[in-house]
Amino acid sequence: MTRSTTKPNVDATVVHTLAACDWVEKGLPLCLIGDSGIGESHLLIALGTLAAKLVNELIEAACGGP
């Protein structure tokens, strides 16, 4: 079994766009696909954390605050 020594190139603009969480507000799923070990899971965890914070903020706003 061989492992690639190349580092993935993730466009910072794409990451910033996903971090804006427009996909959450539109009710769209997010799926990242890539070779094993390039960081998709880490990125999805970070984006999921941002999405959860956004959802909590939206719920609090709808209920009149915390």
pLDDT digit string (tens) for 15-51?
899 999 998 889 899 998 888 888 888 999 999 999 9
Q: Output the pTM of the full model.
A: 0.71
Count up the domains in the chain and report the number: 1
The answer to whether position 59 is within a domain reads: yes
Residues sharing a CB contact under 8 Å with residue 66, sequence separation 6 or more, in sequence order: 60
Answer yes or no: is 64 within a domain.
yes
CA distances from 35 to 1, 9, 26, 32 (A): 14, 12, 28, 10
Tell me the residue range of the domain where 62 lies.
Answer: 11-27+42-66
In a domain, 6, yes or no: no
pLDDT at 52 over 80: yes
